[in-house]
Amino acid sequence: MPVMGPKLVKNFFTGPATRAYPAVKRPAFPQGRGRILYDAERCTYCGICAGICPAAAITMEEDRENLAVRRVFNSFACIYCGRCVELCPNGALQMGAEHPEYAGAKAATVSSSRQAG
Amino acid sequence: MGRVTFPFGPQHPVLPEAIQLQLTCEDERVVEVLPVIGYMHRGIEKAGEKNPFVNNVFLCERICGICSFIHALCYCELVENVMKVSAPPRARYLRVFWSELSRIHSHLLWMGLLADSFGFESLFMQSWRAREIVLDILEMTTGQRVIQSSCVLGGVRRDIDQDMAGRVRRMLNRFKAEYDAVYEVFARDYTIRQRTVGKGVLSKEQAWALGAVGPTLRGSGWPYDARMLHYSAYGEIGFEPVVENACDSYARMMVRAREIHQSLDLAFKALDNLPDTELAVKVKGFPEGEGIIRVEQPRGELCEYIKGNGTAHLERLKVRTPTFANIPALLAVIPGCELADIPVIVLSIDPCIACTER
């Protein structure tokens, strides 16, 4: 213990090393890979993201009734590697730096080429 | 004297992961030990055969949460060797930088757990507090704290520019100051010496004969480290293994403690000498033929083997992890020990069961 002593004494007089979360949150690093932001307006439903997704979190489905393509993104399966963001030719996908949603807020997002016009 | 057999694990306060040791004791002395593994098998090798080979980088990263970057590096270097592609120099230096940061945070995690195993809670917290700076650097430079996903076939995905390099240097200097205080305690504290010196002695001959690897082998006096094979940029940066000769738990701890200082030096060297080239080259075609590679993980030597058949899917992906190689050495040192020393001895090989069982 004597070797540890000075450190322990110093800790008595300094503030806590932890943050008072959730009141105080650490700002996310700009390069962080926290969320995938999808802009359906810019998406051309080319399917590149679905083809390269290592976790098969993105799937393209045929919607024969409406003659459309549906893009389904399952945020539970997503590993946030960012491959789709790198390869999207239309800039429809962006990587958000803020921390990922908690599990309760995660859901499958569906967008259809019909809605996009 | 009567014998009692009882289970140590799979859920035990000192074990971060699930492994069971069936200990047979005579009084307070352990006379026999039988390991039971298989609680954490996830079928990763088979999944590697089903996946396209490009996506296996992300799969291999998930073999282990602590040394994830080094698993990805190992797979990438192996596939690059088989496909006769060479990553650009900047990518190789960045790989060294991130591997060394992974090593630092893995060793500090282990040192915290070791302190916790004999009830030194404040040291456990100080170790993990210092480790947090390294995790912040990893998040800042790669985007994620634990699963970095920055290593890909042909190079790396993220760069460290001048501004960021300056911030990283300042953070590493802050880490060094924090770690030096922790190191002093590990090296000199009376309690730690009482709990580790002379416990779990693995003789030099035994360590070699049982195929121990990593700090377990180097703690028994063998100057062997897979980084001496000069993969990535270790050849250019230069490297000498850290060796201790006492052969006990204290020696194995000191190897790791000193390796953190060495890893810090290597990370600084990699950062200072980053060549000005592109980050990745395009990998075209499919792997054909087979290859094997050895790289140094925080726990020891990691071997990987692949066999490609010219298609997008591998015919075989085989991973041999260091803890698997260290379990025979652990079983050899336990008989004859006091029961109260078992947690420290088990931790002294730094068991990573998720790696072992994949």
A81 vs B58: CB contact, 8 Å cut-off? Answer: yes
- Rounded to a whole number of angstroms, the distance from the CA of A102 to the nearest CA of chain B is 16
pLDDT in tens, B106-139: 999 999 999 988 888 888 988 998 999 999 999 9
pLDDT band at A1 (very low <50, low <70, confident <90, very high): low
pLDDT band at B262 (very low <50, low <70, confident <90, very high): very high
Mean pLDDT of B314-340: 89
- Percentage of chain B modeled with pLDDT above 70: 100
Q: Cα–Cα distance between B343 and B357 in angstroms, integer?
A: 21
Nearest neighbour of B188 by CB, restricted to A3, A79, A81: A3
pLDDT over 60 (residue B187)? yes
Q: What is the CA radius of gyration of chain B?
A: 20
Interface test with chain B among A1, A4, A99, by most B beta carbons within 10 Å? A4
- Residues of chain A positioned with their CB less than 8 A from the CB of B59: 54
Looking at per-residue pLDDT, the higher value among B254 and A34 belongs to: B254
- Residues of chain A positioned with their CB less than 8 A from the CB of B188: 3
pLDDT band at B176 (very low <50, low <70, confident <90, very high): very high
Q: Cα–Cα distance between B66 and B102 in angstroms, integer?
A: 7
pLDDT over 90 (residue B15)? no
pLDDT band at A115 (very low <50, low <70, confident <90, very high): low
- Residues of chain A positioned with their CB less than 8 A from the CB of B181: 7
Size (chain B), residues: 358
Nearest neighbour of A3 by CB, restricted to B51, B149, B184: B184
A1 vs B190: CB contact, 8 Å cut-off? Answer: yes
So what's the ipTM on this one? 0.83
pLDDT band at B239 (very low <50, low <70, confident <90, very high): confident
Whole-model pTM?
0.89
Nearest neighbour of B181 by CB, restricted to A7, A80, A86: A7
A4 vs B147: CB contact, 8 Å cut-off? Answer: no
A3 vs B185: CB contact, 8 Å cut-off? Answer: yes
Mean pLDDT of B297-319: 90
DSSP B295-356: EEETTEEEEEEEEEESSSBEEEEEEE-HHHHHHHHHHHHSTT-BGGGHHHHHHHT---HHHH
User: Which two three-digit tokens encode residue B57?
Assistant: 């980088």
pLDDT band at A80 (very low <50, low <70, confident <90, very high): confident
pLDDT over 60 (residue A66)? yes
Q: What is the pLDDT of residue B40?
A: 85
Q: Cα–Cα distance between B218 and B210 in angstroms, integer?
A: 13
User: Which two three-digit tokens encode residue A21?
Assistant: 């979360």
